[in-house]
Each structure stands twice: as C-alpha cells, then as structure tokens.
Amino acid sequence: VRSVDPKTGKEIPYDLESLINSAVFPGLQGGPHNHAIAGVAVALKQAMTTEFKIYQLQVLANCRALSEALTDLGYKIVT
C-alpha cells in the first residue's frame, strides 16, 4: 500500500506495472541494432591502429597544454 486516501480512507496501492514497464521497455526489450553493432566494430578496429594511438597521445598532450595555460591564468583545474 502506497498511501491511504484521507477523504475516503481507501488504500492506494503502488502502480508497479507502469514502473516496471517504463524501466524495462524499450531499452531492454529491443532487438539487435545492426547499424550500431557495425559502428562499434569500425570504431574498435580504428582504435587498434597505430595512427589512432598517436592521435590519442596528441589529444592528451593538448589537454595538458590547455590545463597548464589555464593554470597560468589563475584558473583552478578540477578534473
């Protein structure tokens, strides 16, 4: 029982059906999305290349440079 109606005194039950349906459908009940599977496969294949690893190292270097520049300007870097 979720609550009691103050006017009628009737018990108001939980509506578990709608809660379960909204939690499960459609996210967990959908079929395979072949386009998404293919996209992940392509991304993983690209991530295995030397060029991608070099690119990621450059991204990290850029982040460090930006962080250092902002710190020099007096900003506090949180993450």
Q: pLDDT by residue (tens digit) across 7-35?
A: 998 998 888 888 887 777 666 666 778 99
Half-sphere exposure of residue 11: CA atoms within 13 angstroms, side-chain side:
5
CA distance 33 to 37: 6
pLDDT in tens, 39-52: 999 999 999 999 99
Contacts of 13 (CB under 8 A, 6+ apart): 1, 2
Summarize the confidence of residues 50-71 as an average pLDDT: 98
Q: Answer with the residue of higher pLDDT: 26 or 38.
A: 38
Per-residue pLDDT at 12: 87
The answer to pTM > 0.85 is: no
Q: Say which amino acid occupies 62.
A: N
Q: Which long-range contacts (CB under 8 A, 24 or more apart) does 14-21 make?
A: none
